[in-house]
Amino acid sequence: LLSVELSSALDSIDVNKTTTDVSILNRSIITPGNNVLVNNTGGDLNIISSDSILNGATKLVSGTTTLKLSENTIWNMKDDSVVTHLTNSDSIINLSYDDGQTFTQGKTLTVKGNYVGNNGQLNIRTVLGDDKSATDRLIVEGNTSGSTTVYVKNAGGSGAATLNGIELITVNGDESPADAFR
């Protein structure tokens, strides 16, 4: 795509039983009307986004969705999202955004496979309270590599005692460098 702004009442990318490669480039802005950026119901989807803005969630019913963000791409998740593999190179992922509403439940980004961070940024909102506080979360079921800077914004709360802390990031794979998220 050559610098495109797409706004639609439908899913922006809907995949079913096909292999699809999508490139989103050159300051393109993708904003679906129903807040679903990707709806994968059984295909293999590979998305490369460079220097663009993606607004919306990714839904994965079956198949695979590989998302590679680079060169200052901004992904504003609008709801819980699932991808198979995620690369965050010099880009920003906003798990939720401050819409002026009371923050009662965070958003969860689940990566079914591996996460690669190359100077990526992850913005998380959380209520600074007890162990059960509302928070955005990243769950990586595979391995991680590289590094990602994590910024936490207080979405309300003045702090409270915790036993285990507020869990923001979970990595279930075998390999994750100590500085993968800093």
The structure tokens listed for 40 are: 């994968």
The residue whose two tokens read 């909102």 is 125
pLDDT tens digits, one per residue of 18-27: 898 999 998 8
Q: Virtual CA dihedral for 12, 13, 15, 21, nearest 10 degrees?
A: 170
pLDDT at residue 96, as a whole number? 87
- Average pLDDT for 42-63: 94
From 31-40, 42-51, 106-115, 140-149, the region with the lowest mean pLDDT: 31-40
What single letter denotes the amino acid at residue 166? I
Tens-digit pLDDT profile for residues 121-138 = 999 999 999 999 999 999
Enumerate residues 6+ apart whose C-beta is below 8 A from 25.
1, 2, 3, 48, 49, 50, 51, 52
pTM confidence score: 0.92
The answer, yes or no, to whether residue 17 has pLDDT greater than 60, is yes
**For range 145-154, the mean pLDDT:** 96
Q: What is the mean pLDDT of residues 56-77?
A: 96
Q: Which residue do the tokens 């709360």 mark?
A: 157
Least confident of 3-7, 46-50, 131-135, 149-153: 3-7
Nearest to 56 by CA among 34, 71, 73, 84: 34
The residue extents of the domains of the chain are 5-171
Mean residue pLDDT across the chain? 90
